[in-house]
């Protein structure tokens, strides 16, 4: 997406590698982390997001914190325990939320978070990942089949 075109430039000073693995160290350069948070906040604010979700973990929390601070909104952790998802806090009724993540993994994907938010009466608008830099949209909700079933 055009609004994420400069994301790689913003994440470069925060990226670390050992030659095989790549990760983000958002504490390495706090100013760069704040610039990244401001850029992501601009994208999410334009989408009318009212709360920021993130997975557990230090880098995930820092990323969501700088985004939520720039948006002046709440940050809520998505916790996965024994295959179940829950959040660290309740959200205001009918919230429009976004998930920010350094990356998705086989156990940390968008679909279960979307389902959890729908079950609670909220709307997951999108997710943004840093690796790869991408805006992810949830699948459209499943409505009744054409024959009503």
What pLDDT score was predicted for residue 3? 62
Whether the pLDDT of residue 145 is over 60: the answer is: no
Query: Token digits for 132?
Result: 């790869």
Across residues 45-72, what is the average pLDDT? Answer: 97
The whole-number average pLDDT for the span 88-112 is 94
Q: What residues contact 67, with CB distance under 8 A and at least 6 apart?
A: 37, 40, 41, 44, 52, 75, 100
For 11, the token pair is 């994440």
Of the chain, the end-to-end C-alpha distance in Å amounts to 36
Measured distance CA(130)–CA(56) in Å, rounded: 16
């Amino acid at each position: 997406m055009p609004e994420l075109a400069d994301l790689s430039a913003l994440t470069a000073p925060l990226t670390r590698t050992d030659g095989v693995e790549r990760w983000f160290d958002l504490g390495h350069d706090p100013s760069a982390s704040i610039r990244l948070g401001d850029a992501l906040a601009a994208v999410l604010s334009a989408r009318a997001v009212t709360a920021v979700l993130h997975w557990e973990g230090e880098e995930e929390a820092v990323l969501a914190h700088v985004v939520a601070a720039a948006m002046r909104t709440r940050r809520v952790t998505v916790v996965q325990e024994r295959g179940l998802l829950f959040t660290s806090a309740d959200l205001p009724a009918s919230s429009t939320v976004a998930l920010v993540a350094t990356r998705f993994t086989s156990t940390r994907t968008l679909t279960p978070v979307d389902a959890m938010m729908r079950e609670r009466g909220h709307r997951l608008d999108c997710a943004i990942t840093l690796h790869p830099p991408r805006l992810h949209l949830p699948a459209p909700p499943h409505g009744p089949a054409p024959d009503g079933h």
